Amino acid sequence: MEVSKAAVVGAGTMGSTIAVALISRGVPVVLKDVDQITVNKGLATIERLLKSRVDKGLSGQVAAKQRALVQPAVDFSSFGDVDLAIEAVPESIDLKRQVLQDLDDHCHTETIFGTNTSSLSITQLGAFTRRPEKVIGLHFFNPAHLMKLVEVIPGLETSDETVQVALEFCRLLGKLSVRVEECASFLVNRLFGRYVNEALYILQEGQMAVEQIDEAACDYAMPIGPLALRDMNGADVGLSVAQFNFQEYGERFSPAPLLAELVKRNLLGQKTLEGLYSYDKQTRKRIGSNPFIADILIHLGKLHNSDEKFDVERLFLPMINEAFLVMQEKICEVEDLDPALMAGLGMRKGPLTIASEIGLANCLIRIEKLCKVHGERFRPAPLLRRYVWAKRNSVY
């Protein structure tokens, strides 16, 4: 099946940047939202992004052709000839159910439904339709017109044909198209959650200050530190995701108490201009670590009295351990894991490469030591033990 026309439901930041990714490859797209005002905001985002590309060298004629590929809509009447419909509405199961049922009523029987959910069950979403074999997760990363990764997630009933069409279509968009089996938070966000949560624990233990943790992470492998990212995404969003992962995976995803305290005090990050960092009210740019954090840490108290000294690799050991659990569960192909994390998070090297550089035996020794101090967060993955028993010191 060839996708000759697509639709995006939801004209917010994610929906409009997905639309730009589509028109950049010559794919006509219907952009729908609930009213004309909201659609116009999405069109304005598209216009701004196209103008930015013209400023960087894209010809005005090409930009005009791409702009003409967008068909605005406030209802589903123009969805009859759409081959792929992508829902990019807020992460509400009830809202997504309604959108998928509306698509079911207005699209032709062969239309594939892609959901941009970052955590909800593809199987559950597919069950809301009369065509679960045609429902698939297409998890674009924000901003979708720039980020190279799309996680392609089949549900239990998704057909092999739908999977192949989705994988190939995302490749045609110039994306790294990675098949990920259904699990809570999928691949990249699942591993990312372990990393950010550990940064919060390290901060709460008083080992290092906010800026020092972020600087160490950036020097080691990351484009931006975990605590700066926590502020960018919002502590409230982070807590919701952390609680969801804790519910799904258990103790190793237990949220750092500091996160709930930030939400309680409305220190949500960039959106409130106060979080782990403080932000200038005029420019909204970061101006330094938040002085209130020291008081919060005193209020919470240190988590333990270990003499453990900060080592930047501790940030990545939970991610490495989770990567071995992902391999054990066959969530993705082993060769896709590092490229997905590098494309999705901007890492300079993926967790399996980091593990190989440290040495798998050394990773296991350090994780076991951390487990004695910190408990379930560091219970070693059985597959990591087996690699070490087999005297493999590298994944590759």
- CATH superfamily placement of domain 6-179: NAD(P)-binding Rossmann-like Domain (3.40.50.720)
What pTM was estimated for this model as a whole? 0.94
Closest residue by Cα to residue 346 from 228, 249, 255: 228
The residues of the chain scoring below 50 in pLDDT are: none
pLDDT of residue 163: 98
As a whole number of angstroms, the longest Cα–Cα distance in the chain is 65
- Is 134:155 a contact under the CB 8 Å cutoff? no
Q: How many CB atoms lie within 10 A of CB 175?
A: 23
How many Å apart are CA 238 and CA 231, to the nearest integer?
9
Distance from chain centroid for Cα 167? 18
CATH number for the region 188-300 comes to 1.10.1040.50
Tens-digit pLDDT profile for residues 320-334: 999 999 999 999 999
- Which architecture does CATH list for 313-389? Orthogonal Bundle (1.10)
Amino acid making up residue 209: A
pLDDT of residue 309: 82
- Is 120:244 a contact under the CB 8 Å cutoff? no
Tens-digit pLDDT profile for residues 192-248: 999 999 999 999 998 899 999 999 999 999 999 999 999 999 999 999 999 999 999
**Cα 48 to Cα 20, 43, 110, 282, distances in angstroms:** 11, 9, 34, 22
Identical fold for domains 188-300 and 313-389, yes or no, is yes
Distance from chain centroid for Cα 86? 17
Q: What residues does each domain of the chain span?
A: 6-179, 188-300, 313-389
